[in-house]
Structure 1
Amino acid sequence: MSETINTVELGEKIVRVLKTVYDPEIPVDIYELGLIYDVFVNDHYEVKILMTLTTPNCPVAETLPVEVEEKVKTIEEVKDAEVEITFDPPWSQELMSEEAKLELGLL
């Protein structure tokens, strides 16, 4: 008998971890910045994260996705994690949460 994945609980854990990753140039975590477009979890507890960067030539383009992967892999249930970068749609301030906009003085 196979275990069923509690996707809600695992999703909450993933979000908590994502909120510990910060864009080094903006004092807001990548989740609240709207850089995370989607998170997928399959039956084997493998996670795929679709995310973007604030700009295509972002100075942390090489290191930020690796940091995200490594931190998500620290979650006990997660067997593997992969980050895919996309620029479609391009990131804009409209993707930021109200909390992030408030933090940055945009509200």
Structure 2
Amino acid sequence: MEADTEIDMAELGEKIIEVIKTIYDPEIPVDIYELGLIYDVFINEDREVKILMTLTTPNCPVAESLPMEVEEKVKSMKMVTDAEVEITFDPPWSQELMSDEAKLELGML
């Protein structure tokens, strides 16, 4: 039975990332995952999710709404019992954190 749980957790992690990829930074036409704003996604055995994320700048215009949107979208997933977003600026976001896909989209490659 344990193997099923592991597969489910890995699958759940992928599904959470798919949901996060539907959320875009309002100033940059790239989703927040490809931008490198998501540092980590933790899922415990009760399927409670904790997302560690950052913002492009501490005074980002969506500093309030973006984390809430991430939390709400992940919380609304059937397989998730709860979700919490923690904001960190350590390490601070930089363009190096962006995926090649995001850099390409923004004409940086």
TM-score bin, normalised by smaller chain? over 0.9
| Cross-structure match for 1:96 | 98
User: Any idea what SS the aligned residue of 2:49 has?
Assistant: strand
Unaligned runs of 5+ in 2: none
Separation of aligned partners in 1, 2:9 and 2:72: 20
Separation of aligned partners in 1, 2:33 and 2:78: 21
Return the letter of the residue paired with 1:90. Answer: P
- Residue deviations 1:9-31, cap 9 Å, x none? 00110010000000000000000
1:73-84 aligned at under 5 Å gives the runs 73-84=75-86
Separation of aligned partners in 2, 1:97 and 1:4: 30
1:60 aligns with 2:59: no
Separation of aligned partners in 1, 2:38 and 2:82: 18
- Residue deviations 1:47-87, cap 9 Å, x none? 00000000000000000000000000121110000000000
Aligned-residue sequence identity (percent) comes to: 79
Structure 1 or 2: larger helix share?
2
| Cross-structure match for 2:41 | 39
| Cross-structure match for 2:5 | 4
Unaligned runs of 5+ in 1: none
| Normalised TM-score (structure 2) | 0.94
Separation of aligned partners in 1, 2:51 and 2:33: 11
Separation of aligned partners in 2, 1:28 and 1:37: 16
| Normalised TM-score (structure 1) | 0.95
Separation of aligned partners in 2, 1:77 and 1:25: 31
Runs of 4 or more consecutive aligned structure 1 residues displaced over 3 Å after TM superposition:
none
Give the number of aligned pairs: 107
How far residue 8 of structure 1 moved from its aligned partner, in angstroms, is: 1.1
How well do the aligned residues superpose, as a CA RMSD in angstroms?
1.5
